[in-house]
Structure 1
């Protein structure tokens, strides 16, 4: 309320409510009309009204003095407001800065009197806070924010995190605890600075230290609490609003969009093959088991709504996998109608390949041997070999060696010798008496030995081949005999080489080709097939369970050799191997007689359990004209089915060596709890999560088996909804600053 007085020559003038007439008259005399006497002044028309008076004419406006006073009042208010803002920006040090400036320059204070200036500045600040508590606090807070924004608090927090990480805190306490520690560290530093600024007298060391320590404590607690509060907010939000999103977000940690794209492509390929994969299985396969989506699927399958969707799909899975495998086998080769005809045909091709290698050696050495055929060697050289044979036969007291040695010697004889014939006197009866007919004695005739290269080499090869026959062959030479005979024909070969350059060169070429080509070929898978007559023996050569490292080329060459002579046979061999694996896995039954939902994963294990076997099979399939890429695509899809966690299991199926799984029985669960007490906590945690998912489990299950693009998009969307609200790195130090400023004292 105000009082309005109409003054002649002046107009209406407002006075404060409650001011006495004497005081108003004195004010008029001294301020408005200095030449008048109060007794001559008539006050009238006084009224009390809350309404504004009629504005005076322009020539009756307030004096310049009044306007100056009003301007000073406005300037004073602005000054104190700026002071509050500046105090916030400088963390409470604006009064100190102004006092120091006044002491240094005399502007705004008394020159040389810092203490007096500081007291005056603080008095002005206190007066403004008292008169405008809300505005003062708002301006000071705004100043704090502006000052904090100007400082690199975010970089400081990140630097503290890096420092603690380098010191090993992350390894000891985890990333979350390290983040809390880093924020507490920076918050404590900021709080300490603010606490020191709050201290009224820096010359009082004890008080200043106490205020600094108090600010550090408040700042550290507040700074460390900010990331904890942010994590708590995110946890509560996801727990109630987006449980599947929280699980998806955790499960997809470290899974990038490229991996999700591979998972989508895998689902699409499986779909083309007639196999329904879940998005969880596809991501697990594409990430090589790095995601945790298997748990989400397992928990969803454990709910009423999720089971209603996924159980029929899993029940149909064995048939889907069998059909897909059958189609892939048919792409390799049609079903083998007469499987027992395969092994003999393969062996025959092995024999032909081996014969071809030997024939090549024969063609290479033929010119040398042909030239040597017309040559002869010194008969004494052959006689020396024959004498060695005679000595070996006579030295054998058992008679075991004499027969084969003598038989070998006979092969060297061109004309058999004859023993000496003594003279004879034979009586002849005549009518006149007996007469005697005498036959002259004949000396012994020695045998004549062959000395031509052609016949000697023929005899040598005959004996060599008999020695090389397997023990069960009809004409095979026993081991002991063969050793003796082999040494004798070796002596013959040496003498032939010394006496014939052509024969020596032929032998050298023969040995070179034998060592470098024929014998390695004989030891190769292709050469081994020449003596392998059964399917088991041939499988041990082409598809050994534990193949030698780097054996893919040799086995591939064996299939290529079959392919070159009989393509259908080569493809049948490959199909038989793949079909053998299918019959014991994907086409098989569980121990309870039911179709095996993990049969496809077991089929994959047959091929990929041994990396060298996998490499060998890929090579064989390619060399027989098959599509290794398509076959591996099938294996990828089937392997993904093994990423599914079994009912009641806490582990992915494929990590349990693909043993059959089922929910633990009562005794089984008790045993698990005894051997692994932590499993109880895991099961309790699963039960809580299933309860959270129950009301949306059907929708989650449907999303998992949606068309591939939508299924993967659902994962992305669930993950993105669960993205945590990021707490700015600068928020913790700013909060610490406020806590130290307003929480102290």
Structure 2
């Protein structure tokens, strides 16, 4: 019988008067009024609706169910205990009961996550190093069970007592004793997930990929493994965790291996090319962007690999497509202006643009002539002592007589009567070395004048002067014939110096520049001299001569030679990159690079001349960077016909994967099997893939991204996933 309740007086049924007044009844209900206090209840949880309902409670006999104080009755001693509600898997997400400090809860959760990470990393290490011991213990247990089942308990006990290496669980126990509170199993959901992800993290180091990919390769299988273990029936947690981790690893591998039509086209276009080789195109892109001429990925790779791939053809397909064409057109819209601006910046490192270009040719020619005269005067100064000794020598009259030919006497008479030279030799006899030397020189000049076509041309008379000059010189330089050794020494030294030092200058670029300034005061003169210092038609091996001429002129007029070189390059760019009818010349930069430095000898000439300029130290690198970038722009193929190769690439790009084809078929109720609808689907796929390729080709890191695609195409992603799983399995199946 139930204990009397002081609130039974409110029952509608009759109650004994003793029960109303008996004070002992109250004392028999321990803490009776405490039942009226509101218990601390947890905050309602959305998932409480899934709780099993508590068994219904019947009121005590004789008590009305309408009594609101029914809850304060003592239950009969023999009554069965109230059944607790069935645990709900979502109870773990309940809010803490009121009164719990929020700050302390958050701190405990954060600490549990940190402890979970430590726990997971330790489990990963112990699982790896304890894998052999776990396998030995499993084998030992299986053998003991087999022996025992066949009736050999003693042998089974002996087998079970065989020592093995420590397993992961054994190592965990040791570490727990050493680390103490620092090593603890996580208790919160977040901590347990953090622990599992940490266990899977070391395995993510297997295979290539960036930081984001590595995070996914640890987090996805870790979350999958932990979730599978939580929902698995009792006794199957380890197997479920193994299956979950394997599914996560295979899922990330499938995502990494997922090849779109664009990826397949890139792999096909670069077949046989290593990813590392493709990456050599990235510095080309970086250089072009640095000077203001952005290049596409195919342009950079084709330049770096010397057209070693089919990416140029693939880009042409993309440029001609409706999906990628607009992106590529916008990318190339400003290329002519970009190239011209880059060329101007490079030329400015040579010298500023002259405001009087017509004067550059005459100025440079004058400096070249001065340089040649300086060399000639140096030779004369070197031989002057020998000439002085020869000039004082008097030839014996008997030896002088053979010199007196009619041509000799004619030149002697002209010299004696010359108002300039006559007074210099008036005090000297005709047979003196000084007079004879001047006469022979005049005879030689007369011979050359008479040999030249024009007024006074007389080859017979020219021969008489030439032979007479030679005979007189031979006598004067031969002591046996009345001459003097000093004169022979002077002529020999002068001939050698001229052959070694003067003739190469007069006959090479310096002499050409000195003699090609005839267009003085006109732009044609500057163009002629500019072509002499950087010839349009290069001669093999002439780089050294050009560098020498540049240095000699630069020593006399450094500004003129630098501005002349700049003018030569600027004029060539204008000629090569002339705008086409209907728009800018996109290939003008490549044509300039070909016209200016299209052969190894032309490139060598540019390097030699720029390196010899006295005040332009940055010019060689700047100009060569420009030339390389402009050469790379030439790797872009012009729009062409729809070739068989183009159509094959379009087929690859428009090919749908299996899932995409199935979705299309369902969406069109099977009509996609017919050519019309199927063609539209392929066209849509082509647009998507060419659009993706256009974005890829115009990206600043395009070459690296293309190499990444090729790397993924040859990467054994599933083998790597299984290898990761093999390292993660011991920790995943260990004690939680």
Match of 1:332 in 2: 350
| Residue in 2 that maps onto 1:605 | 594
Shift of the alpha carbon at 1:470? 9.6
Measure, in 1, the Cα distance between the counterparts of 2:490 and 2:335: 67
CA deviation profile, 1:160-183 (whole Å, cap 9, x unmatched):
xxxxxxxxxxxxxxxxxxxxxxxx
Does structure 2 conserve the Cα–Cα contact (< 8 Å) formed by 1:303 and 1:690?
no
Equivalent runs, 1:260-279 vs 2, <5 Å = 260-279=278-297
Q: Distance in 1 between matches of 2:450 and 2:607?
A: 36
Give the alignment of 1:24-39 within 5 angstroms: none
Two-structure CA RMSD over aligned residues (Å): 3.4
2:696 counterpart of 1:703: yes
Q: Secondary structure at the match of 1:494?
A: helix
- Residue equivalent to 2:142: none
Q: Given the alignment of the two structures, is residue 515 of structure 1 paired with residue 515 of structure 2, yes or no?
A: no
Residue 341 of structure 1 and its aligned partner are, at CA, apart by 0.8
Q: Is the 8 A contact 1:238 1:245 kept in 2?
A: no
SS of corresponding position for 1:621? helix
Partner in structure 1 of residue 436 of structure 2:
456
Do structure 1's residue 691 and structure 2's residue 654 form an aligned pair? yes
Return the alpha-carbon distance in structure 2 between the equivalents of residues 691 and 504 of structure 1.
Answer: 89
Listed one character per residue, the Cα deviations across residues 585-605 of structure 1 (whole Å, up to 9, x for unaligned) are: 23x112x34211111111111
Give yes or no for contact 1:238–1:246 (8 Å, CA) kept in 2. no
- Taking the aligned partners of 1:278 and 1:238, their CA distance within structure 2 comes to 25
> How far, CA to CA, are the matches of 1:268 and 1:578 in structure 2?
25
1:467 Cα offset (Å): 3.7
Is 1:634 the equivalent of 2:618? no
Q: CA deviation at 1:515?
A: 2.3
2:289 and 2:626 mapped to 1: Cα distance? Answer: 11
Equivalent position of 1:427 in the other structure: none
Q: Could you tell me how far 1:500 is from its partner in structure 2?
A: 1.2
CA 1:302/1:258 → structure 2, altered by over 3 Å: closer, same or farther?
same
Which residue of 585, 590, 613 maps to 2:576? 585
Contact 1:246-1:719 within 8 A present in 2 as well = no
Preserved CA contact (<8 Å) 2:408 2:469: no
Partners of 1:475 and 1:458 lie apart in 2 by: 25
Unpaired runs of at least 5, structure 2: 1-146, 152-254, 418-427, 518-524, 656-685, 720-736
Map of 1:524-603 to 2, 5 A cutoff?
A: 524-533=508-517, 534-586=525-577, 588-590=578-580, 592-603=581-592
Decide which of 398, 403, 414 is 1:380's aligned counterpart: 398
Q: 1:496-543 CA distances to partner (integer Å, 9 max, x unpaired)?
A: 112212222222222222222222232221233221223454344322
Q: With the length of structure 1 as denominator, give the TM-score of the two structures.
A: 0.52
Question: Equivalents in 2 of 1:696, 1:535: separation in Å?
Answer: 54
Contact kept in structure 2, 1:252 and 1:293, CA below 8 Å: yes
1:600 to 1:537, Cα distance in 2 relative to 1, 3 A: closer
Report the CA distance shift for 1:292/1:577 in structure 2 as closer, same or farther (over 3 A): same
Q: Cα distance 1:457–1:477, how it changes in 2: closer, same or farther (>3 A)? A: farther
Cα distance in 1 for residues equivalent to 2:328 and 2:416 = 89
Higher mean C-alpha deviation, range 525-534 or range 571-580 = 525-534
| Cα distance change on mapping 1:629 and 1:285 into 2, 3 Å | same
Shift in CA distance, 380/455, structure 1 to aligned 2, threshold 3 Å: same
Cα distance change of structure 1 residues 250 and 470 upon mapping to structure 2, 3 Å threshold: farther
Richer in strand (by share) = 1
8 Å CA contact 1:560–1:623 kept in 2: the answer is yes
1:613-632 aligned within 5 A: 613-624=602-613, 625-626=616-617, 627-632=619-624
Matched residue of 2:576: which SS? coil
Please name the residue that 1:227 is paired with: none
Is the counterpart of residue 646 in structure 1 residue 635 in structure 2?
no
Question: In 1, Cα distance between the equivalents of 2:585 and 2:690?
Answer: 25
- Residue 407 in 1 paired to residue 410 in 2? yes
Give unpaired runs (5+ residues) of structure 1. Answer: 1-67, 73-236, 391-403, 415-447, 649-663, 670-678, 729-745
SS of 1:305's partner is coil
In the alignment, the residues of structure 2 paired with residue 548 and residue 327 of structure 1 have an alpha-carbon distance, to the nearest angstrom, of: 29
**What is the distance in 1 between the residues matched to 2:398 and 2:459?**
30
How does the TM-score come out when normalised to structure 2?
0.52
* TM superposition shift of 1:558: 0.7
Residues 267 and 282, structure 1, Cα contact 8 Å, conserved in 2 = yes
* 1:92-151 deviation digits (Å, cap 9, x = unpaired): xxxxxxxxxxxxxxxxxxxxxxxxxxxxxxxxxxxxxxxxxxxxxxxxxxxxxxxxxxxx
Structure 1 residues 476 and 563: CA distance shift in structure 2, 3 A? farther
